[in-house]
Structure 1
Amino acid sequence: MKITMIGAGYVGLVSGVCFADFGHDVICLDKDENKIEALRAGRIPIFEPGLQQLVAANAASGRLSFSTDLAKCVPDSEVIFIAVGTPSRRGDGHADLSYVYDAAREIAAHISGFTVIVTKSTVPVGTGDEVERIMRETNPDADIAVVSNPEFLREGAAIDDFKRPDRIVIGIDDERAREVMTEVYRPLYLNQSPLLFTTRRTSELIKYAGNAFLAMKITFINEMADLCEKVGANVQEVARGIGLDGRIGSKFLHAGPGYGGSCFPKDTLALVKTAQDHDSPVRLIETVVSVNDNRKRAMGRKVIAAAGGDVRGKTIAVLGLTFKPNTDDMRDSPAIAVIQALQDAGATVRGYDPEGMDNAGHVIANLIFASGPYEAADGADALVIVTEWNQFRALDFDRLKAVMKSPVLVDLRNIYRKDDVTKHGFTYTSIGRPD
């Protein structure tokens, strides 16, 4: 099938490349000419394992191309995906849908023949209705079916998630779209990936409800971690004990400094705002948002306490800046709040991240960057692990102790055992475990 992907950001690029890898003819379209030129030259604007190789292979095959010319791409397309950003709107926290609606207007002006318009962007309930209204108002003769098809991609594992999904949710209000969307996902359907057809509004809510529930699990175990520290219990064993219950499951029960990233923070907030607008407040999610925001800053205070209660004039080394490993995404990363809390308390912060330092430089002021973990730790009064990159899981503690001013490790991801660290002469602080 001929597919156009509007938006060559994270979701659009990964989805477009994977569709091309299935054998579809895909054009990834974006208004950013520099981004498109870079993609044509084989330079990928984001870090995602395996993506560069997949782009190169499908571009070479002719199934994948890149363009800035919407008027040229749209008329020949059978399916058009809208995969533009929906950031939190300044001032009120609602999802900013201006990019989605602008795309709908531009697409409508160039539609030719029956076309399925698919909203891949994460959008509140009712957005598909408005997209359809805008397109019919712009072009009353347009023969369209508007579909909701939310994405469920984890950064760092997006390609595998796309090709081996737990489910594919497709919201339709026009039965003509069912056959088209089944054909789009036919390669996955043959591998028994479940296609869940719902109404459009139901599909839109599934995305928000799913992310909110996962955010709630993270926040729950983080609060249990705080309680464990007070009563002398071990949060990792608590998580395992409840996670073995099939009704609960073990995923997203890893205590840490709070959730971040491109999805959970903005999606939970957007769900709260949508629920308030419909006079059906979601009190649990409101609390999740509040607790998570407070937790990130509290982790800064935890580091200060571990460093002796006063970090003014001290140097703190931070390992891991991105919100999770295997990505360069800094959006709402817990590291931002931790570092700002340390800087506000008078500390000099030196940081290292395998992929995120370029992006970190745009969001964290006065952060000194190091070329590796040992350079970051050189002369430091404490070392903090904020993001659990694999290369931080086997640090040489004798080497670290030799270069650090004070052998203090604050492990905000619980990737080490206390005994394995303290035997090297370190003071060790973790999350939700007895010290």
Structure 2
Amino acid sequence: MFKKTVTVLASSMMLIGALSACGGGNNDEAANGKVTINVWGMGEEAKSLPKIVEEFEKENPDIKVNVQALPWDTAHDKLLTAVASKKGPDVLQMGTTWIPEFSSAGALMDLTPYIEQYPELAESNFFPGSITTTKFEDKTVGVPWYIDTRVLYYRTDLLKEAGYDQAPKTWDELKDAATKLKARGGNKYGISLDVNEQSLLFMFARQNGSKLIDENNKPLFNQPEFKEAVDYLNSFFKDGEAPIDLGMDIIPAFKGDGILPMFISGPWMIKLINDQAPELAGKWATAVLPAKENNISALGGSNLSVFQYTEHKDEAMKFLDYMSKPETQLKWLELTNSLPSTKKAWEDPVLTSDANLKVIGEQMNASEPMPLIKPWEEIAQNVLTTFEKIYRNKNADVQKELDSFNAKSEEILNK
């Protein structure tokens, strides 16, 4: 999840307003026979929700929807408050990594008994990886709303000069291309690897066959499959093909002479490049990730869930059904650039005619969420510290660092 911040004071005032709205509709609405449902959305994109709500209310004139937009950086605590008080929204946006925590706390309604009544919510309508994020134990506690994944961005002109008419397709080709691009000299590099991206090591480890955590809930972070992935990524830093602390944003480094001619990121970068580097038109592209045993990418995005303590289950489910319609998802794409979770929406010319967006859809067929377990966030934070010790020290004992990380992860899992 990639969210923007606002002040704590404004966030707290928003929470007070949100909680006060949770008691249902006002007297006028009750007199008019309308049911009011409250929807909590997160981040900047949630501010566009009222435009979608207008259309929903036209189709459902007996339902009034109140939208509260909460900033991501304070939303987690606000949700905890709602759970503790049993006073929250009817529908809420859930970051995919939050599902285990809030489901285990009993905050999310099991949608399983209702899904057959709402055809847009059928699991077959969504990418398999997205459906995985909506499950907890034997329950379905959400529906996919929008998605993101990671793909390779590259300068087609510079790769061509390096002997590549197309994007690298394997780990070996990626390393070779980065080496040749680095050889241009003049403080230029081959690739940017975001060491603050929690999913980076895990994603490459999966590509090398690692299961990350076994069926007995034991971490596998010091096993050969994981270590080989760490060694591979670290080689880009050791050999100077990826910078450490360049101190330069990715788009300025991507354009011009291409200080960083390749990087791995999410779909939001497509618009940023088009807006901030229009002179690169025709000189860059996206590609699915290079493969080792596979080319699994990290799956992110958001789901929509129903609050366990809602008094308006049917109305909440109608809202989820409406938000899952391909036409609604395409409207959401138009408003926010958030990519659809429904496979049918990806057949629309808006997406199929854009070569870069089409790649995102292709990568979605090989994208998986991080393990959906409550302690995962703590483990993911620790991996950043572990990898920093490795890439900043060329003489680091990689196996020793991974043994330590694995032991710490085991403690976290056994809490």
TM-score range, shorter chain: under 0.3
* TM-score, structure 1 as length reference: 0.23
Higher relative contact order (CA 8 A, sep 6+): 2
Task: Tell me which protein shows more helix as a share of its residues.
Answer: 2
* TM-score, structure 2 as length reference: 0.23
